[in-house]
Amino acid sequence: MIQRISSSKTLKLGALCSLLLIGTAWAGAPSDYAEFCASCHGESRLGGVGPALIPETLKRMRGPRVAAVIAEGRTATQMPAFSHELDALQIEELAGWLKSPLESDPEWGEADIMASRILDENYVAVEAPVWDSDPMNITLAVETGDHHVSVLDGDTFEVLDRFETPFAVHGGPKFSPDGRYVFIMSRDGWVQKYDIWALEQVGRVRAGLNSRNIAMSSDGKWVAVANYLPNSLTLLSTEDLTVAKVIDIKSKKGKPSRVSAVYQAPPRESFVLALKDVPEIWEVFYGANPPQFGIGHDFRIEGQFKNPDPFPVRKITTPDYLDDFFFDQSYEYVMGASRGGEGGQVIDLVIGQKVADLDLPGMPHLGSGITWRYGDTTVMATPHLTDGTVSVIDMETWETVKQIKTEGPGFFMRSHENSPYVWADVFFGPNKDAMHVIDKQSLEIVKTLRPAPGQTVAHVEFTKDGSHALVSIWEDDGAVIVYNAQTLEEVRRLPMRKPSGKYNVWNKITFSEGTSH
């Protein structure tokens, strides 16, 4: 057992403590957790009032170290400081223990999900919006600094509401087809339904324990939740957040896999799954008449001959692992890449086979790719997470049109059909304060904006008509900056707490060519 020592000695023996911690069971950490943490974060570390405290959640959170949060708390949250209750070594032990894997993979099935479901008793549906703005030009701004979303009028940029979200929103909100409701997901699996017309939360349900993103069916009836933990896809009714089905993710050979992402494919009336741990693409059908593939095909649909099974699954074997996707406009072709390698593949979903390779060095971020008309063809462009390049791909030949050199690796790209420009951030590295503006036809950077020197500038969203572009200053005392999208002049700054993504109702529900889907 590690012996308690004073805070001053802890600082001098930090390296020795680290070595000791690696080889121990973090002597007092479980009891300290039970005394100080379990009431909010759950006895099993899977979350309660507070978020889950497991490696899958903690390792992807930006901001202070876990030990610093334990010691100092988090401002504007219910997380208190424990530096007076725990000494420095206790805090380091507890932080190390929280980063350790659970002894066994926890279960989270339909009964658990339904037990977590909460519908707001005070919510009352309204006949029309309680505000006078254009309902198709509403933009949501996610503020990760204190876990809120601001509802913006896209014409005046006034804040209509600011509501609390689950902890650590991830994957992008999804709107119902009429733009009235929005569904928001957190990293620890909570799905929130919010009525934009009424400016009220409808309810919440925990669909997984560690989740990646959600997708909305084209008919607006279902929300699919991609889960890392457990290895599952959860299908929820959008009407009342009840469980429609929980699908265990196991390959054709029975190997479990995390779900990296789920996407909707509207023309196919299906959800398409990217899998982290097996070389397969899955397609889950929700339409009344899923395609009937022959029994002899390697990619037959599981469940299509079962009655009733409203969500039959099709499994397509791929030459490599693919956990990041982009689709062509017809949703026949999926462009896929792996976070662990370079290059990419094009899979024809109709025949279930690879039809082309893609030259995509530097870990492309296909999930934020966009398309536009370029001469007599359509191109797709994607940033790269480890290389200062934007790759432009011809979507008819799958050849690289150009690799545009940038000031560093990027994360997000955006455009609009009414804009001559593509906006690309430089999210990673020393030039994170740069936002490149690229001409769609010359494929040249025509201007580099630096609205907040030294601070992270990221994620652009356009208004419904494309006249204005909204840019995030991704800092705790940050802002959303409104630009004139034609002149590139700043129009207004809206102070916000570490704003990340912005999502315009019209652009998202119409699948604008400049918006990632």
List pLDDT tens digits, range 164-203. Answer: 999 889 889 999 999 999 999 999 999 999 999 999 999 9
Q: What's the gap between Cα 8 and its chain centre?
A: 41
**Do the Cβ atoms of 483 and 491 come closer than 8 Å?**
yes
pLDDT of res. 301: 59
List b or e across 215-237, with b for residues whose CB sees 16 or more CB atoms inside 10 angstroms: bbbbebbbbbbbbbbbbbbbbbe
Contacting residues for 401 by C-beta, under 8 A, at least 6 apart: 374, 379, 392, 393, 394, 443
Distance CA 458, CA 466 (A): 18
**Please, which pLDDT band fits residue 441 given cuts at 50, 70 and 90?**
very high
Q: What is the mean pLDDT of the chain?
A: 88
Distance CA 27, CA 90 (A): 9
List b or e across 130-164, with b for residues whose CB sees 16 or more CB atoms inside 10 angstroms: ebebbbebbbbbbbbbbbbbbbbbbeebeebbbee
List pLDDT tens digits, range 286-343. Answer: 988 777 654 334 445 565 555 567 899 999 999 989 988 999 988 999 999 876 667 7
Residue at 517: amino acid letter = H
**Residue 50: is its pLDDT beyond 80?**
no
pLDDT of res. 292: 61
Contacting residues for 409 by C-beta, under 8 A, at least 6 apart: 362, 383, 384, 385, 386, 387, 388, 426, 427, 428, 429
Distance CA 426, CA 485 (A): 19
Could you write out the three-class secondary structure of 477-489? CEEEEEEECCCCC
Burial class (CB in 10 A: 0-12, 13-18, 19+), 320: middle
Its sign, for the CA torsion 81, 86, 89, 90, is negative
In this prediction, residues 229-252 reach a mean pLDDT of: 97
- Give the gyration radius of the chain's Cα atoms: 23
**Could you tell me the end-to-end alpha-carbon distance of the chain, in angstroms, rounded to an integer?**
52
Question: Which residue in 464, 459, 466 sits closest to 510, CA to CA?
Answer: 464
**Please, which pLDDT band fits residue 64 given cuts at 50, 70 and 90?**
low
Distance CA 331, CA 341 (A): 24
In this prediction, residues 236-253 reach a mean pLDDT of: 97
**Do the Cβ atoms of 345 and 354 come closer than 8 Å?**
yes
Contacting residues for 341 by C-beta, under 8 A, at least 6 apart: 320, 363
Question: Which residue in 374, 436, 434 sits closest to 399, CA to CA?
Answer: 374
Distance CA 263, CA 225 (A): 10
Instruction: For the chain, list the domains and their CATH numbers.
Output: 7-98 (1.10.760.10), 105-128+170-278+280-317 (2.140.10.20), 362-517 (2.130.10.10)
H-run or E-run covering 192: strand 190-195
Provide the residue count of the chain. Answer: 517
Distance CA 370, CA 433 (A): 22
List pLDDT tens digits, range 480-506. Answer: 999 999 999 999 999 999 999 999 999
DSSP codes joined into one string, 311-371? S-EEEEE-SS---EEEE-TTSSEEEEE-TTSS-EEEEETTTTEEEEEE---S-B-GGG-EE
Percentages of the chain per state (helix, strand, coil), in multiples of 5: 15, 35, 50
Question: Which residue in 438, 439, 444, 433 sits closest to 471, CA to CA?
Answer: 433
**Do the Cβ atoms of 54 and 108 come closer than 8 Å?**
no
**Do the Cβ atoms of 477 and 450 come closer than 8 Å?**
no
Distance CA 355, CA 259 (A): 24
pLDDT of res. 4: 38
Map tokens 């380091």 to a residue.
92
Distance CA 206, CA 232 (A): 13
Distance CA 191, CA 213 (A): 10
Bond from prior residue into 308 cis (ω within 30 degrees of 0): yes
Phi-psi region of 189 (alpha: psi -120 to 50; beta: other; left: phi over 0): left
**Residue 80: is its pLDDT beyond 50?**
yes
- Residue 168: both structure tokens together: 């650590």
Distance CA 194, CA 120 (A): 10
**Please, which pLDDT band fits residue 12 given cuts at 50, 70 and 90?**
very low
**Which of 39-53, 56-70, 135-149, 375-389 has the least mean pLDDT?**
56-70
Q: What's the gap between Cα 13 and its chain centre?
A: 39
Q: What's the gap between Cα 453 and its chain centre?
A: 27
**Please, which pLDDT band fits residue 53 given cuts at 50, 70 and 90?**
confident
Helix (H, G, I), strand (E, B), or coil: what is residue 22?
helix
